[in-house]
């Protein structure tokens, strides 16, 4: 057996134990999906760089060594303050430690009436009929675990995470933060892995602002393998801010899958700052006529960080609009990968799609790979894309210097501007302010 | 008028990518004066403007430039700006993610710091800006837009003039600020320059066209051709150029 087969077999064995006892309380439909997902993972195995979708990103550190699910050590009171400080907002929050709900650290006071923000485990155990029905309808129905081994692994070990439901007509304006923390080393010999799973359902005509934050409490080589499904109902308006600031040694693999209804709006904002190795698959389906999507991302990498954003914008219905902007700032030996696939399905006429990916290289050893992929099966559409990779523009530097800024000040202003362009589209002051501070801190 | 000229360019030679563009420019500008430098395309007008501002792509191969008693060529572009030199770019550069207001304040504060003055906070600076915006007939929506990003050609030129008004340089060099402007924008630009004219500053207007000079009263008009100033005169020279074009001067150069 190769190391890879060995590790895969270990997860299969671990799943058997998990399905035997750990899955207690889960409904039958979910147990069945989990088993199917495990079989799918075993069949797919860990991806290799020979696969087109993974050719710039090696997951060898994950595939060749076992990670274990920790017992879920909730930090004590003294650590609690530090934990919460890793969050972004000052508003309501639901906190998870190593993928498990931490009620003592959570606070959902002040949520508008009708909004449910709770643990997925509680939702699935069926204490309340309505949430569990919403969960049954949507959970695992969107994210394509059949195609992606990491999403399959997450689905197999699906136990807890966030469940958010915003009913028709309700406006959740103050951002609700879902804070996923890794406590660090597993305690034993092997590093820790958690599989947080989230479902956000915004019913027709509702409005919601949600922050998803992933962070580490202590630096360690832990692994977060997250999946989030977001359902945006007809005419709903959703702003989702996703902030990844894992520990420097951490691994972060995630799938975000969104589905939009007719005339809905989704602003999906992605900020990637942390982790040694990060891979984020984002699939957005514009599944109703006239849906509008803004996919707005920033990755700020240094040292030997590697971050790979794989986005798919799927225009399934006519009159859809999607504007995608990803900016990368890469320093030291960092490597940024961006793949932006835009699919316009047959019949999705009058689609208006725009994609840009700009990469700023701050060192000669930094690297960026940018790949647009357009698949257009309709004839009356407007699709544009563009990408750039390069150092700071000497013309911009000179222009700023000619106004009295030092070379260093000019360079730092231009770098900040690269990030600020993305932050500028995050119109929520509760989010933009703290993110702006994080970015400035990061850029020094 | 002071005894020493503000700007004294002597036998200036400059090249870009090994190609010599300026071939011995002599130019003297005194405080309180407005000079116009005219000339056909490719004569070196923009090169002269860029060399004075310190563009790193141009190499000065011979000659000297003294500005306010200093060796201008020995200064970095930022120090030239802090010493009061301002170039309005022919092709202003867009800066993504940075608002005009932020950029203008950074520029003003860089100079204030250099001069040992206290830096201005965002609120104080807004008061300064409000007045300058009026000068060029802009509302404050331009302040929150990223620098020149998505600006029309005319808006970019106006933005250069806004910077000119805010920075109040001692020596302003306008590199074809008039080209591509409609008549109203042209008037605004010319009026702003006129309004900023003082006994303790000077302006050099580099232009291809006579138009802007009908709204600005230059003290001296120069003709740059083949990398040298081939003729200088009063405002009437501009009129003559308007009537006769540049060809007669080029022939003159060849004959000389």
CA atoms within 13 A on the CB side of A9: 6
Cα–Cα distance measured from residue A115 to residue A91, given in angstroms and rounded to the nearest whole number: 14
> How many other CB atoms are there within 10 angstroms of residue B58's CB atom?
19
Q: Are A118 and A216 in contact (CB under 8 A)?
A: no
Residues belonging to chain A: 444
- pLDDT for residue A186 is more than 70: no
Residue in A380, A327, A386, A376 with CA at minimum distance from that of residue A355:
A386
CA dihedral B25, B28, B111, A438 (to 10 degrees): -20
- Could you say which of B55, B82, B98 has the minimum Cβ distance to residue A404? B82
B107–A403 CB contact, under 8 Å: yes
The verdict on a CB contact (< 8 Å) between B95 and A417 is: yes
Chain B residues within an 8 Å CB radius of A410: 78
Average pLDDT, chain A: 93
| Residue A118 φ then ψ, to 5° | -155, -175
Which of A396, A398, A405 has its CB closest to that of B106? A405
Query: In angstroms, rounded to a whole number, what is the distance separating the alpha carbons of residues A119 and A128?
Result: 12
Residues of A with Cβ-Cβ distance to B92 under 8 angstroms: 399
Residues of chain A above pLDDT 70, percent = 95
When CB atoms are compared, the residue of B53, B98, B110 closest to A417 is B98
Which residues in chain B touch residue A416, judged by CB atoms under 8 angstroms apart?
97-98
Contact A431, A175 (CB under 8 A): yes
Per-residue confidence band for A41, with pLDDT thresholds at 50, 70 and 90:
very high
Residue A224 Ramachandran class (φ > 0 left, ψ -120 to 50 alpha, else beta) = beta
Interchain contact, A405 vs B107, CB within 8 Å: yes
Token pair in block for residue B127: 């008061």
Say whether residue B117 is in contact with chain A using an 8 A CB cutoff: no
Classified as helix, coil or strand, B98 is coil
The pLDDT, as a whole number, for residue A440 is: 93
A300 has pLDDT over 80: yes
Q: Which residues in B lie closer than 8 A to residue A421 (C-beta atoms)? A: 96-97, 146
Residue A391 has pLDDT above 70, yes or no: yes
Looking at residue B189, its pLDDT comes to: 86
* A394 interaction partners in chain B (CB closer than 8 Å): 56
pLDDT tens per residue, range B224-256? 999 999 999 998 998 888 888 888 776 545 433
Instruction: State how far residue B115 is from chain A, nearest Cα, in angstroms.
Output: 12
- B105 CB near a chain A CB, below 8 Å? no
Each residue of A133-160: pLDDT tens digit? 899 999 999 999 999 999 999 999 999 9
* A396 chain-B contacts, CB cut-off 8 A: 93, 95
pLDDT of A72 reads 56
Contacts with B110 from chain A: Cβ below 8 Å: 403-406, 409
Between CA A288 and CA A152, with CA A164 as vertex, the angle to 5 degrees is 75
Residue A408: closest C-alpha in chain B: B78
Question: Is B97 at the interface with chain A, CB within 8 A?
Answer: yes
The answer to whether the beta carbons of residues B83 and B73 sit under 8 Å apart is: no
pLDDT tens digits, residue range A358-386? Answer: 999 999 999 999 999 999 999 999 999 99
Tokens of B15: 């090249």
Query: What is the pLDDT confidence band of residue A439, given thresholds at 50, 70 and 90?
Result: very high
Interface of B with A in 182-201 (CB under 8 A): none
Q: Give yes or no for residue A237 having a pLDDT over 90.
A: yes
Per-residue model confidence (pLDDT) at position B131: 85
Q: Select the residue from A358, A388, A404, A435 to test the B interface by mutation, using most B Cβ atoms within 10 A.
A: A404
Q: What confidence category does residue A76 fall into, taking pLDDT thresholds of 50, 70 and 90?
A: low
Instruction: Give the ranges where chain B is alpha helix by DSSP (H).
Output: 45-53, 77-82, 100-114, 122-136, 153-167, 183-196, 235-244, 247-255
Residue B17 has a pLDDT of: 93
Q: Are the Cβ atoms of A409 and B111 closer than 8 angstroms? A: no
Cα–Cα distance for residue pair A135/B23, rounded to 1 Å: 78
Chain B environment of A423 (Cβ under 8 Å): 97
Write out the two tokens for B77. 């572009």
Check whether B1 has a pLDDT greater than 70. Answer: no
The pLDDT of residue B95 is above 60? yes
Least trusted range by pLDDT, from A95-99, A165-169, A307-311: A95-99
pLDDT of residue A187: 61
Q: What is the pLDDT of residues A303-350, one digit of tens each?
A: 999 999 999 999 999 999 999 999 999 999 999 999 999 999 999 999
Locate A163 and state its tokens: 């469940």
B247 CA: distance to closest CA in chain A (Å): 33
Query: What is the C-alpha separation between A290 and A317, in angstroms, rounded?
Result: 8
For the cut 60, the answer to whether the pLDDT of residue A74 exceeds it is: no
- DSSP for residue A19: I
Q: Is the pLDDT at A298 greater than 50, yes or no? A: yes
Across the interface, do A404 and B55 touch by the CB < 8 Å criterion? no
Give the model's confidence band at B132: pLDDT under 50 very low, under 70 low, under 90 confident, else very high: confident
- Cα separation of B177 and B179, whole Å? 6
Condensed to tens digits (0 to 9), the pLDDT of residues A393-431 reads 999 999 999 999 999 999 999 999 999 999 999 988 889
Biggest distance spanned by C-alpha atoms of chain B? 61
Say if residues A239 and A428 touch (Cβ distance below 8 Å): yes
Digit-coded pLDDT (tens) for B137-189: 788 888 989 999 999 998 999 999 999 999 999 999 999 998 888 888 888 88
Instruction: List, in sequence order, every residue forming a beta bridge with A259; answer none if it has no partner.
Output: A231, A285
Is B130 touching A (CB cutoff 8 A)? no
Q: How many CA within 13 A on the CB side of residue A384?
A: 6
Q: Which helix (H) or strand (E) holds B65?
A: strand B58-67
- The pLDDT of residue B254 is 42
Range B54-69 average pLDDT = 96
What ranges in A1-116 are assigned the alpha helix state H?
A: 3-17, 28-44, 60-63, 77-85
* Residue B194 CA: distances (Å) to CA of B155, B199, B223: 20, 12, 22
Q: Which residue of A has its CA nearest to B90?
A: A399
Look at residue B3 and tell me whether its pLDDT is greater than 60. Answer: yes
Which tokens go with A34? 């989990």
DSSP A440: H
């Amino acid at each position: 057996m190769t190391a890879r087969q060995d590790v895969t077999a270990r997860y299969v064995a671990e799943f058997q134990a998990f399905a035997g006892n750990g899955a207690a309380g889960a409904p039958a439909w979910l147990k069945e999906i989990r088993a199917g997902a495990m079989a799918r993972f075993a069949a797919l195995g860990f991806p290799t760089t020979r696969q087109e979708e993974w050719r710039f990103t090696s997951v060898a550190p994950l595939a060749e060594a076992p990670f274990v699910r920790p017992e879920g050590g909730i930090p004590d009171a003294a650590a609690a303050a530090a934990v919460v400080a890793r969050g972004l907002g000052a508003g309501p929050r639901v906190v998870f430690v190593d993928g498990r709900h931490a009620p003592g650290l959570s606070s959902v006071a002040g949520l508008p009436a009708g909004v449910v923000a709770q643990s997925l485990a509680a939702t699935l155990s069926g204490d309340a009929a309505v949430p569990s029905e919403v969960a049954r309808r949507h959970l695992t129905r969107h994210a394509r675990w059949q195609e992606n081994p990491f999403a399959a692994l997450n689905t197999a070990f699906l136990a807890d995470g966030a469940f958010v439901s915003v009913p028709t007509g309700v406006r959740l304006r103050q951002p609700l933060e879902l804070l996923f923390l890794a406590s660090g080393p597993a305690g034993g010999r092997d590093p820790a892995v958690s599989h947080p799973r989230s479902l956000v359902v915004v019913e027709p005509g509702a409005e919601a602002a949600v922050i998803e934050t992933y962070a580490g409490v202590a630096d360690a080589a832990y692994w977060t393998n997250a999946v989030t499904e977001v359902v945006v109902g007809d005419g709903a308006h959703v702003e989702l801010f996703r902030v990844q600031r894992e520990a420097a040694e951490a691994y972060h693999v995630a799938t975000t899958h969104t589905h939009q209804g007719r005339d809905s709006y989704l602003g999906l904002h992605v900020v990637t700052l942390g982790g040694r190795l990060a891979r984020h698959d984002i699939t957005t389906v514009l599944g109703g006529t006239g849906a509008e999507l803004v996919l707005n991302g920033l990755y700020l990498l240094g040292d030997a960080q590697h971050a790979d954003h794989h986005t798919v914008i799927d225009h399934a219905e006519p009159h859809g609009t999607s504007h995608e902007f990803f900016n990368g700032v890469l320093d030291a030996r960092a490597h940024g990968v961006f793949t932006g696939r835009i699919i316009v399905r047959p019949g999705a006429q009058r689609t208006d799609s725009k994609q840009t990916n700009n990469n700023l290289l701050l060192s000669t050893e930094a690297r960026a790979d940018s790949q647009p992929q357009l698949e257009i099966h309709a004839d009356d559409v407007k699709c544009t894309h563009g990408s750039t990779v390069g150092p700071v523009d000497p013309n911009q530097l000179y222009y700023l210097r000619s106004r009295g800024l030092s070379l260093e000040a000019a360079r730092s202003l231009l770098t900040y501007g690269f990030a600020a362009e993305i932050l500028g589209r995050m119109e929520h002051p509760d989010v933009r302010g703290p993110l702006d501070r994080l970015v400035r801190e990061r850029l020094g | 008028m002071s005894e020493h000229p503000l700007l004294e360019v002597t036998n200036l030679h400059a090249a870009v990518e090994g190609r010599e563009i300026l071939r011995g420019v002599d130019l003297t500008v005194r405080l309180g004066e407005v000079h116009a430098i005219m000339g056909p395309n490719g004569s070196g007008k923009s090169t002269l403007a860029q060399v004075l501002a310190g563009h790193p792509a141009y190499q000065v191969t011979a000659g000297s430039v003294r500005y306010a008693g200093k060796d201008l060529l020995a200064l970095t572009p930022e120090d030239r700006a802090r010493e009061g030199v301002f170039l309005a770019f022919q092709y202003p550069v867009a800066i993504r993610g940075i608002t005009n207001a932020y950029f203008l304040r950074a520029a003003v504060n860089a100079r204030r710091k250099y001069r040992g003055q206290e830096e201005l906070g965002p609120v104080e600076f807004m008061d300064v800006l409000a007045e300058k915006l009026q000068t060029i007939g802009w509302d404050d929506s331009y302040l929150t837009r990223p620098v020149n990003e998505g600006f029309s050609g005319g808006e970019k030129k106006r933005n250069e003039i806004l910077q000119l008004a805010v920075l109040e340089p001692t020596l302003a060099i306008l590199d074809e600020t008039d080209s591509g402007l409609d008549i109203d924008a042209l008037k605004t630009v010319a009026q702003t320059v006129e309004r900023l004219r003082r006994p303790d500053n000077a302006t050099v207007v580099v232009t291809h066209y006579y138009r802007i000079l009908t709204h600005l009263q230059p003290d001296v008009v120069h003709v740059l051709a083949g990398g040298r100033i081939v003729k200088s005169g009063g405002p009437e020279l501009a009129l003559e150029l308007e009537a006769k074009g540049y060809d007669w001067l080029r022939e003159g150069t060849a004959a000389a």
